[in-house]
Structure 1
Amino acid sequence: MSPGAVLTRWLAAFALTQAFEVPLYLRAGAGWRTAFLASALTHPVVWFVFPRLLRAELGYWGMVAMAEIFAVGAEALWLHANGVRRALPWSLLANATSFGCGLLIRAVFGWP
């Protein structure tokens, strides 16, 4: 896959992630900046770093599990640092929603 295609695919996945997670973080009491940056800070790491570091050793699903644990934890810390109460449950809900819906969209539409 060309670098341009990889970037296009990532941007689509990032937009979907934001579409699912930002409204949940806003509902949790985060401001727009905090809600947007939660996933903006973790998504590139999950998408570009974890596959290079862990996929060969852990396989696809092991790598995905570690990446999602990272995302939930890092986003919960970010939310907590920015005054969101019950940050961990909100992060878990947001990430489970975007992950699950992303899998469903990929299964149904083959995208992103």
Structure 2
Amino acid sequence: MTAWLIAFAFTQAVEVPIYLRAKAGWRAAVLASTLTHPVVWFGFATVRGWVHSYSATVVVMEAFAIILEAIWLSSHNVKRPFLWSLGANLTSVTLGFASRALFGWP
């Protein structure tokens, strides 16, 4: 659970400022990845069982997050929600992998 909380905090630190830049408002910005991160984190093993590849699993899980967060942003009148969600999630996952490779964290 500690690993998830650290990864969640990291994700929020990256994605919330991007969503605020999109003019999502604090509530919408914070709740976007709050809605998807637990599903991505805890559902990863299940999806990996279906897909049988780490890379493919990452793509499936990130696609889920991007689409759901775009729908969430759209419901909060954010213009170009898919592009903002794509940008936030790609930034988050890229920085997460880079941080893990360089520092072993999160």
Normalising by structure 2, report the TM-score. Answer: 0.96
Structure 1 residue 50, shift from structure 2 partner: 3.1
Aligned equivalent of 1:68: 62
- Which of residues 72, 77, 93 in structure 1 aligns to 2:71? 77
Following TM superposition, the consecutive aligned residue runs of length 4 or more in structure 1 with deviations greater than 6 angstroms are: none
Q: What per-residue deviation string (whole Å, max 9, x for no partner) do you get for residues 33-52 of structure 1?
A: 00000000000000001322
Give 1:46's aligned amino acid.
V
1:90 maps to a residue whose letter is W
Cα deviation for residue 73 of structure 1 reads 0.2
The size of the alignment, in residue pairs, is: 105
- The 5 Å alignment of 1:40-79 reads 40-52=34-46, 54-58=47-51, 59-79=53-73
- In the alignment, the residues of structure 2 paired with residue 39 and residue 89 of structure 1 have an alpha-carbon distance, to the nearest angstrom, of 15
Corresponding residue for 1:25? 19
Could you list the runs of 5+ residues in structure 2 that have no partner in the other structure?
A: none
C-alpha separation in 2, matches of 1:49 and 1:101: 21
Taking only aligned residues, the RMSD between alpha carbons, in angstroms, comes to 0.8
Identify the residue that residue 110 of structure 1 maps to in structure 2. Answer: 104
Question: Aligned with 2:77: secondary structure?
Answer: coil
The one of 66, 81, 89 equivalent to 1:95 is 89
Structure 1: state its 5+ residue gaps: 1-6
